[in-house]
Amino acid sequence: MRQIQEGALEDIWRLSATELAQNVRDRKISAREAAQAALERLEAVNPAINAVIDYRAEDVLAQADAVDASAARGEEAGVLAGVPVTVKVNLDQENFATTNGTRLQARNIAGTDSPVVANLRRAGAVILGRTNTPAFSLRWFTDNLLHGATKNPRDPSRTAGGSSGGAASAVAAGIGHLAHGTDIAGSIRYPAYACGVHGLRPSLGRVPTYNASGPERPIGVQLTAVSGPIGRSIADLRLGLAAMSGFDPRDPWWVPAPLEFSNQPRRAALVRRPGGLEIVPEVEEALVDAAARLRDSGWEVAELDDIPAIEEAVELQARLWIGESFTPWEEMTAKDGDPGAIATIAELKSLLKQVSAETYLHALVRRSAIIRDYQLLLQDHPVLLLPVSAELPFPDQLDRTDFARVWRAQLTQIGLPLTGLPALTVSTARVGRTTTGVQLLAGRFREDLLLEAGEVLEAGGTPPAPLDPVF
C-alpha cells in the first residue's frame, strides 16, 4: 500500500480510497489535507466535465476538521477515515437540494441526511460534492436543463453513462476517491462501464435508503432500486459497501446480512449472448478474456447458452419502474420540459403498450418465479459472467436518434434488477479512447463472491485511472 511522505501532498487525490484511509489512520495525512487536495482537483477538472454540480468548500473543510478532531481525541477512525466521497444529487444530503436533475425539484432542500449519507459520515467519509444525473434519473445519458451535461473524461464523444454519470465521471477523473450511485436499470453498472471504472449494484436490502424530502416511493421502485459504490479499485468498492450498508431504521427493506460468508465456491459460468443478445466483437473479446483470467486464477468456468427469462424480466422490470400509469410521468416530464426525459417516456410508452393495475400485479407474481429460477441456477454456478451492454459505450445522446438500439443493447442492465441480486461491473480494457468490461452476477447478499472474482479480473489489467480529461 502506498504511503505519502510528509511534504509530498500535491498528489493525494491520486490515491485510492483504501490507501488514503490508511494514511489518515496512520496520521501520515490529515483529513483536511485530503479535503484540500480533493477541492483543488475538483476545481481544476470539473469545469471540463461538469460531473459535480454542487459543493461548498467551507463545508467540506469543516467536515474534514471534525474527522481530524476526532482522531486527536483518540477516537477510533472509520473505514473511510478522511476519504472525500461524492453523492448523487438524487439522494438527500442535509441542507442541499435533492434535485434529481429536474427543475421541478431545484428548491427541494433536504432537512436530514439519507441513510447512505449518514452511514458514510459515520464511517469517517467527507462528503465532497453532489454529482449530476439526467432529469428524473431516467436515461443512460447524463444531461438536464437544470445542471447541464456531464462529459465522459476518457472521450467526450461517448456517453458518461446514466443515471450515475456524474458519479462515474468524477471518480474516473480523480474528483473524490469513491462515489455513491443508484441503480434501477443499470445506473451504477453502466456509467462505470462507460467511464472505465468499477461499479457495484448491491442486493436489495443490503444498503438502506430513504429520502425524507420526497414522497414514499412506489412499490415497484422499492423492489428494484438500490444505492451502491463506484470506485477505481475493487478494494475501494469493498470499503464503500461496508460503509454504506450499516443499519438504519428508516428503511424497512434493510437486512442484517453479513458482508462475508465462509463458503467461497470458485465456480462461474460464462453467458456470451443472454436472451440472444447480438454483441459486438469487442464485448465478446472482453468476456472471453475475463473467463480466461478466472480460469488462470483457479476458478472453474463453464459456459451456458442463456440465463432465465431475461427478455421477460426486462418488460416486467420496466412495468414496475414506471408503475400503473404513464400519466404521472408524462405530466412531470412535460412540466420540466427536458427533451431527453420526454422522449424516453414516449418511447417506453410505445414499447410497453398498456400499463394497468392487472399487468402491474402480474409483474409482481412473475418476479418471484424468475428470482427462484436464478437462485436455482446460482446453486450450480455461483457467479455468472455476462455482458454489461451489447455495445461499447454509446455515442453521446444516441437514445435521441435510435432508442430501440439503445434499449436492446441494455438487456442485462434493465432485466437483472428485477431479481434483487447483486451485480458488479468490472472495467477490464481500453478500446481506442473508450473502455470495455464485463458484468458479474451472484446470489443474494453474495457481494463477497463478486468482489473476489472482481479482484481476479482487476489483477489482469484495467484502464488507468484517475486520468486527466482527454478533450
Phi, psi (5° rounding) for residue 214?
A: -125, 175
pLDDT number for residue 471: 78
In angstroms, rounded to a whole number, what is the distance separating the alpha carbons of residues 226 and 113? 17
Measured CA to CA in angstroms, residue 110 lies from 64, 439, 454 at distances of 21, 34, 35
* pLDDT on residue 263: 86
User: Coil, strand, or helix at residue 40?
Assistant: helix
Query: Which whole-number Å values give the CA distances from 356 to 10, 110, 315, 389, in the listed order?
Result: 57, 33, 13, 29
Query: Exposed/middle/buried for 220, CB within 10 Å: 0-12, 13-18, 19+?
Result: buried
Q: What is residue 327's predicted lDDT score, i.e. its pLDDT?
A: 92
Report which of 382, 461, 411, 373 is spatially closest to residue 272, judged by C-alpha positions.
411
pLDDT in tens, 18-76: 999 999 999 999 999 999 999 999 999 999 999 999 999 999 999 999 999 999 999 99
**What pLDDT score was predicted for residue 356?**
75
pLDDT mean by block of 10 residues, the chain; 471 residues? 54 97 97 98 98 98 98 94 98 98 98 98 98 98 98 98 98 98 98 98 98 96 97 98 98 98 94 98 98 98 98 94 90 98 95 78 94 98 98 98 98 98 98 98 98 98 95 78
| 346: Cβ contacts below 8 Å, ≥ 6 apart | none
Give the model's pLDDT for residue 7: 40
Assign residue 180 a region: left if phi > 0, alpha if psi is -120 to 50, beta otherwise? beta
Cis peptide upstream of residue 163 (ω within 30 degrees of 0) = yes
Is the separation of the CB atoms in 451 and 234 below 8 Å?
yes
CATH among 3.90.1300.10, 3.30.930.10, 1.10.10.10, 3.30.70.141 for 12-459: 3.90.1300.10
129/341 Cα distance (integer angstroms)? 24
- Cα–Cα distance, 194 to 466 (Å, whole number): 14
- 277: cell is 443478445
Residue 344 and residue 422: Cα distance in Å, rounded? 26
How many Å apart are CA 330 and CA 344, to the nearest integer?
A: 10
Strands 434-442 and 423-431 come out as: antiparallel
Q: What is the pTM of this model?
A: 0.97
Which of 235, 239, 257 has its CA nearest to residue 119?
A: 239
Start-to-end CA span in the chain (Å): 32
- Looking at residue 463, its amino acid is P
Would you name the residues annotated as active-site residues?
88, 163, 187
What are the cell numbers at 208?
Answer: 438502506
